[in-house]
């Protein structure tokens, strides 16, 4: 995909990783619509990026990805404004193992599924769309178990399974769609939740982070751009790594429907 001129939606766009992905897309001359539940932060980011890239290049929409009606209205607003959506990056996520379990399920897994389904409905060529790419942000926890974060791991594993399932759809060529995954390890973000709420075993997670290190969100955003620009990347999973070269896996499409 040539990103220049394409219209992208980034959920969780006011977070550290969301901002990095948004900026990377803008630098490729895409038009980016930031969706986030943080109104003040989102408006501040919108103003800053409009000053740098132009008022018609970036916009912010207050959007709760757990609210199906509100999410649909925000998505439809982008279509009404730009006439299309070509790129959907489902990035919104929270971490809370102790008090808001249902919300974590609804944001992380539910929000990704809703965002993907909205993109599929709009993009699919067999129903009048122009095609497009869905990039879902999972995690290393979506590929391997983490006892410190069992519920978060369940949501990210669900995202991995959902995305892989769509990527193996034998009718994707007719639909004009691609599905990819980026799976970061720990990364720096402007939001730092209370670790006592965030995880079950704080000391163990801190030791894990000491060994693995923290990624710069800018490097993860590079992987998102790479997935978008590679037309052969359907089913590709990039596991980013702050210390080693990123690992790339490919989930091949099936030969026949089931």
Catalytic residue among 35, 60, 71, 152: 152
Calpha distance 3→26 (Å, rounded)? 9
Per-position b or e across 107-135, b if 16+ CB within 10 A of its CB: bbbbbbbbbbbbbbebbbeeeebeebbbb
For 191, phi then psi, to 5°, come to -95, 120
Contacts of 141 by beta carbon, 8 Å cutoff, 6+ apart: 149, 152, 153, 156, 157
Dump the DSSP string for 160-175: HHHHHHHHT-TTHHHH
Picking from 238, 257, 234, 256, the residue whose alpha carbon sits closest to that of residue 247 is: 238
Residue 152: active-site member: yes
Residues 182/247, Cβ–Cβ less than 8 Å: no
Contacts of 41 by beta carbon, 8 Å cutoff, 6+ apart: 14
Write out the catalytic residue numbers: 152
């Amino acid at each position: 995909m040539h990103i220049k001129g394409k219209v992208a939606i980034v959920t969780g766009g006011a977070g550290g990783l969301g901002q990095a992905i948004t900026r990377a897309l803008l630098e490729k001359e895409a038009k980016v619509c930031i969706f986030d539940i943080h109104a003040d932060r989102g408006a501040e980011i919108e103003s800053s990026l409009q000053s740098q890239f132009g008022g018609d290049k970036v916009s912010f929409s207050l959007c709760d990805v757990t609210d199906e009606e509100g999410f649909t209205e925000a998505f439809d607003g982008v279509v009404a404004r730009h006439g299309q959506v070509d790129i959907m990056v489902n990035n919104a996520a929270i971490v809370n193992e102790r008090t808001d379990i249902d919300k974590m399920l609804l944001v992380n897994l539910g929000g990704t599924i809703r965002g993907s389904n909205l993109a599929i409905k709009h993009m699919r060529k067999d129903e009048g769309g122009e095609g497009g790419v869905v990039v879902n942000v999972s995690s290393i926890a979506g590929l391997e178990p983490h006892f410190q974060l069992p519920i978060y791991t369940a949501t990210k594993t669900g995202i991995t399974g959902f995305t892989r399932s769509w990527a193996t759809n034998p009718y994707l060529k007719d639909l004009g769609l691609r599905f990819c995954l980026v799976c970061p390890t720990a990364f720096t973000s402007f939001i730092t939740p209370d670790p006592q709420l965030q995880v079950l075993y704080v000391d163990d997670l801190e030791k894990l982070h000491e060994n693995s290190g923290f990624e710069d969100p800018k490097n993860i955003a590079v992987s998102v751009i790479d997935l978008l620009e590679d037309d052969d990347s359907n089913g590709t999973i990039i596991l980013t790594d702050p210390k080693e070269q990123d690992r790339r896996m490919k989930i091949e499409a099936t030969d026949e429907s089931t």
